[in-house]
Amino acid sequence: MSEMLLQVRGVETYYGNIIALRGVDLDVQQGEIVTLIGANGAGKTTLMMTICGTPRAREGQIIFDGEDITQLPTHDIMHRSIAQSPEGRRIFPRMTVLENLQMGAILNEEETFGEDLELVYGLFPVLAERSEQRGGTLSGGEQQMLAIARALMGRPKLLLLDEPSLGLAPKIVKQIFSVIKDLNASRGLTVFLVEQNAYHALKLADRGYVMVNGRITMTGTGSELLHKEEVRAAYLEGAV
Amino acid sequence: MSAASAKSGLDFPAALKDAGLAALIALALSIAMLFFRTVDFQGNLILEKRWTLAGTTVLIVFAGRLALNLFWFPRRGGLGLFKIASSALPARFAELGKWMAPVLIVFAVVLPFLPASNRYIMDLAILVLTYVMLGWGLNIVVGLAGLLDLGYVAFYAVGAYSYALIATTFDWSFWVCLPLAGMFAALWGIILGFPVLRLRGDYLAIVTLAFGEIIRIVLLNWYTLTNGPDGITRIPRPSFFGLEFKRFGDGTFANYFNIEYSSMHRIVFLYYVILVLALITSALTIRLRRLPIGRAWEAMREDEIACRSLGINITNTKLTAFSIGAMFGGFAGSFFATRQGFISPESFTFIESAIILAIVVLGGMGSQIGVAIAAIVMIGGLELLRDLDALKQLFGDNFDPALYRMLLFGLAMVGIMVWRPRGLVSSRAPTVVLREHKARSADLVKEGHG
Ligand SMILES: Nc1ncnc2c1ncn2[C@@H]1O[C@H](COP(=O)(O)OP(=O)(O)OP(=O)(O)O)[C@@H](O)[C@H]1O
Ligand SMILES: [Mg+2]
């Protein structure tokens, strides 16, 4: 029954003449949580950004919802029910929480705004309390919640998250991950999660990929990877 | 919070700052209300400049405010000034903006009818309003979209020359040419926009600077079209719904309304034209800020990458900012041309761009009221400095005021930037607030857990 939502086929991405992705294959099915883990500089962010069209893949194909999006400009790709919470959050610091959320919904009809706002305020009550506060003055955890909430305002089918746990206390990480789990379970939201925090990510995800040096070296279900010796040695040192 | 109030001992620099601010406001107000007075001198109206009165007022305000800050506010729980002078100052400025804007608008509307207004004041007011409009136009590009444009004068020039050339060649009226001039300027905004799409910050500034110079040099050298350094003369004046402002002949304004001809009629009419043009600029900007395009401008200023990831087309966003900003520059330019009756490339040098940019930066990058106040202070201030004879009394007869005009001006600018590094009105008003959000958010919290 599961339908393919995102297919990455032999994608190669370069920064100038330097190769960053060396033929990546990856699938995300409708309703799945898929995680991508790997060391610093492995190319995880590059892959996520390539899916969004900047930088563009030099080789290979990216298919979203049956449509080849490899050559589309970024803003066209983001019009297609893909939303992203980028690395480093990148919220708009001088805008209020509410304005940030409004930016997330900028491509939508105005009618659905209130409804979507209720949804994200329900998921992250702290944002509702801080609705009028400037984004830049939020704490790191609140900023991350805002980044995710802003992405959700676009009503995505596929949510791309780049290291949402970066620099957050374990308790906040748990809260954010449980929100992701809830969204996936209750609304069937498909999630592609890039993480350094391999333990939590693999526990949460249905399937995972391991990236080394711009290549996918391992794949399997979350718990398979969690119990693989190579994964444990490389990414889970002292985590369990 | 508690740390701030605990610290509120005698904070002298803050008190000084706050008093300086009060003095500045007093200065701005007293220029119009105290400084100038018309007196009857041997049957002629002349303008008396009351340096002592205005100066004393400002000094009294300064001293009074300082005394209040030092002795009165701390006693009222220590929260009077010191908090205000540091963190809450922008918020208070925003409060100020709420009543300041209507007051300024009403003042601008009645200005021609005030007993004190004469030819000199009206000319100065027209000049100030032209810069207010230019400031508001550039504010879209620099303040909202965050694109540092050092060549804004190019669009001013394009507007002025478009109007001058069309009006002198085809004999079309000002009101037909005005939109055309705006369109030409907008077109040039797009032409500038394309090559600089990928540039930001310093690099963008350099290219726009060059663009401004290129336009000026082309105007200077394209003799067959622009008449080069000799400029274009006899540019038609605007008419009041077809009624000309002339002394003689039928169908003149004075004739139609059966009033005696006065050269002030045209001046006052021009004043209202630029006032309306400026207010339209401001109203449109305020409106645009609430629309997706305006929000995209501001978001782009904050973070271009985040904008892209939200599906915003950065190319279009930049080009619209350049072209709409340029369009207002073009309107102001054609107004300038029709008011002067004569234009030459000399009016469109880099210093003009610099002054307009200074107005936007001093005003606080994005604040409408801030830009207006900055324009009044800058242009009004420059004009006041033109006539520094009063300083002779201070420094003796050997003192040549003209030499010091730019120096004093520069000092004042440095002072303002030291004192308010983010401009006069640095707080940014949100474009959207939730009504009754407290009540609603409480509901939502429950829902979220339920
Ligand atoms: N804009 C860029 N120009 C040149 N090289 C880049 C650029 N962005 C990334 N790289 C390089 O590409 C490689 C992959 O970087 P990427 O950001 O994708 O890593 P990552 O897996 O996300 O790492 P991290 O976990 O630290 O975020 C790195 O070697 C990096 O230096
Ligand atoms: Mg990364």
pLDDT in tens, B17-38: 888 888 888 887 777 777 777 7
Q: Which tokens belong to B78?
A: 């220590």
Tell me: do B136 and B71 sit in the same domain: no
Which candidate from A79, A86, A129 shows the least CB-CB separation from B311? A79
Checking DSSP bridges between strand A4-15 and strand A33-38, what pairing results, if any? unpaired
Q: Which residues are close to ligand 2, an ion, with C-beta < 5 A?
A: A 45, 87
The CA A196 to ligand 2 mean position distance, Å, reads 9
Span A81-113, pLDDT tens digits: 999 999 999 999 999 999 999 999 998 888 889
Whether the CB of B49 is below 8 Å from some CB of chain A: the reply is no
Residue B285 pLDDT grade (very low, low, confident, very high; cuts 50, 70, 90): very high
pLDDT of B88 above 80: no
The continuous run of DSSP H or E covering A21 comes out as strand A18-29
So what's the pLDDT on residue B434?
Answer: 67
pLDDT of B273 above 70: yes
Report chain A residues whose CB lies below 8 A from the CB of B437: 98, 128, 131-132
HSE-CB at B309 with a 13 A cutoff on CA atoms is: 29
Q: Å from B86 to nearest chain A CA?
A: 17
Q: Å from B304 to nearest chain A CA?
A: 9
* Residues contacting residue A227 through CB under 8 Å, at least 6 positions apart: none
If DSSP codes are grouped into helix, strand and coil, which group holds residue A219?
strand
Tell me: do B122 and B206 sit in the same domain: yes
The 3-class SS string of B289-347 reads HHCHHHHHHHHHHHCHHHHHHCCCCHHHHHHHHHHHHHHHHHHHHHHHHHHHCCECHHH
Whether the CB of B434 is below 8 Å from some CB of chain A: the reply is yes
So what's the pLDDT on residue B436?
Answer: 47
pLDDT of A42 above 70: yes
Residue B87 pLDDT grade (very low, low, confident, very high; cuts 50, 70, 90): very low
Is B429 within a domain?
no
Q: Whose CA is nearest to atom 2 of ligand 1?
A: A15
- CA nearest neighbour of A30 among A165, A182, A156: A156
Q: CB atoms < 10 A from the CB of B247, how many?
A: 11
Whether the CB of B445 is below 8 Å from some CB of chain A: the reply is yes
So what's the pLDDT on residue B216?
Answer: 95
So what's the pLDDT on residue B92?
Answer: 57
Tell me: do B194 and B62 sit in the same domain: no
Is B190 within a domain?
yes
Q: How far is CA B432 from the centre of its chain?
A: 25
So what's the pLDDT on residue B7?
Answer: 43
In terms of residue numbers, what domain contains B327? 89-384
pLDDT of B46 above 50: yes
A residues 114-153 lying closer than 8 A (beta carbon) to B: 118, 121-123, 125, 128-129, 131-132, 150
Tell me: do B47 and B121 sit in the same domain: no
Q: Above pLDDT 90, what percent of chain A?
A: 87
Tell me: do B39 and B102 sit in the same domain: no
So what's the pLDDT on residue B385?
Answer: 72
Q: Is the dihedral of CA A15, A19, A22, A23 positive or negative?
A: positive
* Integer Cα distance of A22 and B309 in angstroms: 24
Residue position matching structure tokens 């004009």:
B383
So what's the pLDDT on residue B389?
Answer: 65
Q: Å from B313 to nearest chain A CA?
A: 5
Is B443 within a domain?
no
Instruction: Determine the residue type at B425.
Output: V
So what's the pLDDT on residue A212?
Answer: 94
Question: A99 vs B432: CB contact, 8 Å cut-off?
Answer: yes
pLDDT of B219 above 50: yes
Whether the CB of B435 is below 8 Å from some CB of chain A: the reply is no
Residue B409 pLDDT grade (very low, low, confident, very high; cuts 50, 70, 90): confident
Q: Which tokens belong to A80?
A: 């297609």
Report chain A residues whose CB lies below 8 A from the CB of B447: 118, 122
Domains identified in chain B, total number = 2
User: Measured from the CA of A39, which atom of ligand 1 is nearest?
Assistant: 25
Average pLDDT, chain A: 93
The CA A45 to ligand 1 mean position distance, Å, reads 7
Is B347 within a domain?
yes
Average pLDDT, chain B: 82
Q: Whose CA is nearest to atom 25 of ligand 1?
A: A40
Residue A239 pLDDT grade (very low, low, confident, very high; cuts 50, 70, 90): low
Helix, strand, coil shares, percent, chain A, to 5: 40, 30, 30
If DSSP codes are grouped into helix, strand and coil, which group holds residue A134?
strand
- CA nearest neighbour of B326 among B187, B161, B226: B187
* Residues contacting residue A94 through CB under 8 Å, at least 6 positions apart: A134, A135, A136, B298, B302, B428
Closest-CA residue in chain B for A51? B309
Q: A233-237, B58-62, B64-68, B281-285 — which is least confidently predicted?
A: A233-237
How confident is the model over B219-235, as a mean pLDDT? 92
Q: CB atoms < 10 A from the CB of A153, how many?
A: 25
Report chain B residues whose CB lies below 8 A from the CB of A93: 302-303
How confident is the model over B246-271, as a mean pLDDT? 79
Domains of chain A: 1-81+157-172+190-240 (3.40.50.300), 87-155 (no CATH)
Tell me: do B363 and B216 sit in the same domain: yes
Contact B159, B182 (CB under 8 A): yes
Peptide bond into B74 cis (omega under 30): no
Contact B363, B423 (CB under 8 A): yes
Span B359-403, pLDDT tens digits: 998 888 878 898 999 899 888 887 877 766 666 666 666 666 666
Phi-psi region of A133 (alpha: psi -120 to 50; beta: other; left: phi over 0): beta
So what's the pLDDT on residue A187?
Answer: 92
So what's the pLDDT on residue B391?
Answer: 63
Tell me: do B274 and B370 sit in the same domain: yes
pLDDT of B440 above 60: no
pLDDT of B43 above 90: no
Residue position matching structure tokens 């983010």:
B422
* Integer Cα distance of A51 and A28 in angstroms: 12
Tell me: do B316 and B345 sit in the same domain: yes
Nearest ligand, CA A43: 1
* Integer Cα distance of B316 and A70 in angstroms: 21
HSE-CB at B324 with a 13 A cutoff on CA atoms is: 24
Q: CB atoms < 10 A from the CB of B345, how many?
A: 22
So what's the pLDDT on residue B30?
Answer: 78
With vertex at residue B143, the alpha carbon angle to CA B141 and CA B148, rounded to the nearest 5 degrees, is: 55
How confident is the model over A198-205, as a mean pLDDT? 93
Q: Is the dihedral of CA B255, B256, B258, B260 positive or negative?
A: negative
Which candidate from A79, A122, A131 shows the least CB-CB separation from B437? A131
Whether the CB of A157 is below 8 Å from some CB of chain B: the reply is no
| Mutation site for A-interface testing, chosen from B309, B317, B320 by largest number of A Cβ within 10 Å | B309
Q: How far apart are the first and last CA of chain A?
A: 34
From A22, A44, A56, mutation site for ligand 1 pocket: most ligand atoms within 8 A of C-beta = A44
Q: A156-170, B205-219, B332-346, B388-402 — which is least confidently predicted?
A: B388-402
Is B243 within a domain?
yes
- CA nearest neighbour of B144 among B324, B312, B278: B324
Domain boundary, last residue among B22, B51, B79: B79
The continuous run of DSSP H or E covering B13 comes out as helix B12-30
Q: CB atoms < 10 A from the CB of B166, how many?
A: 18
Angle between helices B350-363 and B119-138 (to 10 degrees): 80
Name the CA radius of gyration of chain A, rounded.
Answer: 17
pLDDT of B1 above 50: no
* Residues contacting residue B40 through CB under 8 Å, at least 6 positions apart: none
Cα–Cα separations (whole angstroms), residue B58 to B28, B103, B121, B278: 9, 20, 21, 29
Tell me: do B229 and B102 sit in the same domain: yes
* Integer Cα distance of A87 and B53 in angstroms: 60
pLDDT of B80 above 60: no
Whether the CB of B302 is below 8 Å from some CB of chain A: the reply is yes
Q: Whose CA is nearest to atom 16 of ligand 1?
A: A43
So what's the pLDDT on residue B402?
Answer: 64
pLDDT of B256 above 80: no
pLDDT of B112 above 80: yes
> pTM for the full model?
0.80
Report chain A residues whose CB lies below 8 A from the CB of B430: 95-96, 98-99, 132
So what's the pLDDT on residue B74?
Answer: 63
* Residues contacting residue B435 through CB under 8 Å, at least 6 positions apart: none
Report chain A residues whose CB lies below 8 A from the CB of B432: 96, 98-99, 102
Residue position matching structure tokens 């290291």:
A163
Whether the CB of B295 is below 8 Å from some CB of chain A: the reply is yes
Residue position matching structure tokens 């060396």:
A22
Q: Whose CA is nearest to atom 18 of ligand 1?
A: A43
Tell me: do B55 and B161 sit in the same domain: no
Q: The CATH number of the domain where B200 resides is what? A: 1.10.3470
Q: How far is CA B211 from the centre of its chain?
A: 22
Contact A225, A231 (CB under 8 A): yes
Which candidate from B306, B313, B428 shows the least CB-CB separation from A86? B306
User: Measured from the CA of A87, which atom of ligand 1 is nearest?
Assistant: 27
How confident is the model over A110-126, as a mean pLDDT? 92
Tell me: do B125 and B270 sit in the same domain: yes
Q: Which residues of B108-129 are buried (b: 16+ CB within 10 A; e: fewer)?
A: beebbeeeebbeebbebbbbbb
Q: CB atoms < 10 A from the CB of A61, how many?
A: 14
Q: Above pLDDT 90, what percent of chain B?
A: 42
Whether the CB of A86 is below 8 Å from some CB of chain B: the reply is yes
Tell me: do B159 and B42 sit in the same domain: no
Is B413 within a domain?
no
Residue position matching structure tokens 């498909």:
A190
- CA nearest neighbour of B301 among A172, A39, A94, A9: A94
Domain boundary, last residue among B47, B79, B111: B79
- CA nearest neighbour of A61 among A4, A139, A133, A142: A4
Closest-CA residue in chain A for B315? A75
Domain boundary, last residue among B79, B102, B120: B79
